[in-house]
A and B are shown apart, each in its own frame.
Chain A
Amino acid sequence: MSAGLRAATALAVLLGVLTAAAPSAAAHTDLVASTPQPGATVDTLDEIRLQLETSLQRDGRHVIRLLGPDGAQWDNGQTRAVADRELLAGAAPALPRQGEYTVRWCAVTADGHVQSGAYKFSYAGPTSATARPPGRTSDGGGCEVPSWGGAAALTGWLLVGVIAAAVLFLAASALLRRRVSPDHGERTGG
C-alpha cells in the first residue's frame, strides 16, 4: 500500500469516526443510579458504584475515574462489572481534601456500544495530608472517558485528527508525485 493510499485510508477512517461519534457524543447517558449520587454531599467515599440501564459486556474495558478538586485521579484504577448492569471502582484509601469531586465513566454495553457520562458531587468527610493518588490503572483502553469539555472537546480532538490526516495525505501525495513519473503517477491509485 502506498503512503498516499495509507494516508487516504486513515482520513476515511477518521471521517467515519467523526460522523459516527458526533451524535453519540451529544446523547444522554443511561446512568440509572449511582453511589455517590450526582450533586450529593457525602462523608465517606470508599467506592463508586454505577447502575446503568443497559446490560454490560462481561469483560468489557469499562472505566470509572474519580477526579479530585485538584484534577488528580483518586480512584483505585480497577473498574469492573460486578453485575449485569453495575460497575464498581474503589476510591483511594485516603483523600487529600474536601470539595467537589468528579466522576467520569464509560462502559461497553453487551451489544458493543460505548456509553459515557460524568457528574460532580461533594466530599465533606475526613481528609489526610499524606494521601497520595494511587496512580496505577489496570482498566481502560477499551473505551474512553470524556476527558475535557465533553461533546465539544471530543469534536475538537477528532477535528485535530482529521487535520493531521489531511496534512499527512497532502504531504504523502506531493512526495508521490515527485517520485513517480507523470505517466504512472495518476494511475497508481487504481
Chain B
Amino acid sequence: MVRSIRGAALAVLAAALTACSGQAGGDPAPGGTGMGGMNMGDPDAVPAEQVPGAEVAGGRFELLGTAPQGYQGVAGTAALARHGSGSTVTIELRGLKPGTRFISHVHEGRCEEGGVAHYKFDPAGGDMPPNEIHLAFVSTPEGTGYMTAENDKTAGPDARSVVVHPSEFTDNRIACAPLS
C-alpha cells in the first residue's frame, strides 16, 4: 500500500516537473491549450474551408464594444463547415496582443447582439466541449492567431457567430464573426 502510494507520488512529481520545465520558457507554445484532454482545437486539423463536400458558412471578425484596450486593429475570418462527419470551425485572426492566450466559442446570438450565449448541441447539456465548440489558442509574436476545432455532430442553425475573448478576461468579448 505505502509502496504503491510512494510510486504514485514519484510519478506525480516526475510528471509535474516535466510539465513545469515545459512551461519554464515563459512563452506558451502556440496551438491547442485544451485542459484535461478536452477538445479545444487542433491547429493541424483540416480547416473548414478545405473539408471536402462540406457546406461552409462564415464571415469577418469585427471589433466589439466590449473589447479591452489594445484591440482596435483586430481583423480576421471565421468559417463553419457542416459535413458528413460533423462540424469543423476555423478561425484566423490578426491585430491581437502578441503571446497572449485566447479562447473562442461558437455563440448562438448574432454579432449585432454581441453573440449572446454559447451555442450548445444539446441545450440541456453541459457548457464544455463536446457539447459546445471552443477554440483555445496563443497568439504569435506578430499578433496573429489560428485554430481549427472539430466536432462529430453537425451544428444546427443556432450556431450563429464566433466570439473571441482573452483567456484571462473571459468577460471581455473582443471580436465577433458571423457564421451565416
CB within 8 Å of B: which residues of A? 4, 7-8, 11, 15, 19, 22-23, 25-29, 31, 34, 37-40, 100, 102-103, 117-122, 146, 149-152, 155-156, 159, 162-163, 165-167, 169-170, 173, 176, 185-186, 188-190
Select the stretch in B6-14, B74-82, B86-94 that faces chain A: B6-14
Q: Could you say which of A38, A152, A155, A163 contacts B172, with CB atoms under 8 Å apart?
A: A38
Select from chain B the residue with minimum beta-carbon distance to A9.
B5
What residues of A have a CB within 8 angstroms of the CB of B173 in the complex?
Answer: 38-39
Q: Is the CB of B16 within 8 A of A152?
A: no
Besides A26-B38, A190-B1, 16 more A-B contacts (Cβ < 8 Å) are: A4-B2, A4-B5, A7-B9, A26-B128, A26-B136, A29-B171, A37-B66, A39-B173, A100-B69, A117-B171, A122-B69, A152-B33, A152-B167, A159-B20, A173-B9, A185-B2
Counting residue pairs across A and B whose Cβ atoms lie within 8 Å, the total is: 130
What residues of B have a CB within 8 angstroms of the CB of A31 in the complex?
Answer: 171
Within the complex, what minimum Cβ distance (angstroms) separates A27 from chain B?
Answer: 6
Q: Is the CB of B35 within 8 A of A23?
A: yes
Known contacts: A8-B9, A26-B40, A120-B172. The answer to whether A188 contacts B2 by CB under 8 A is yes
Q: How far apart sit A97 and B1, CA to CA, in the bound complex (Å)?
A: 59
**B19 located at the interface, meaning its Cβ lies under 8 Å from any Cβ of chain A in the complex:** yes
Q: Could you say which of A29, A38, A159 contacts B16, with CB atoms under 8 Å apart?
A: A159
What residues of B have a CB within 8 angstroms of the CB of A23 in the complex?
Answer: 35-36, 38, 128
The contact string, 1 if C-beta is below 8 Å from chain A, for chain B 126-140, is 011000001010000
Q: Could you say which of B2, B38, B167, B170 contacts A173, with CB atoms under 8 Å apart?
A: B2
Q: Could you say which of B6, B16, B168, B170 contacts A169, with CB atoms under 8 Å apart?
A: B6
Q: Is the CB of A170 within 8 A of B13?
A: yes
Q: Is the CB of A19 within 8 A of B66?
A: no
Q: Is the CB of A28 within 8 A of B170?
A: yes
What residues of A have a CB within 8 angstroms of the CB of B128 in the complex?
Answer: 23, 26-27
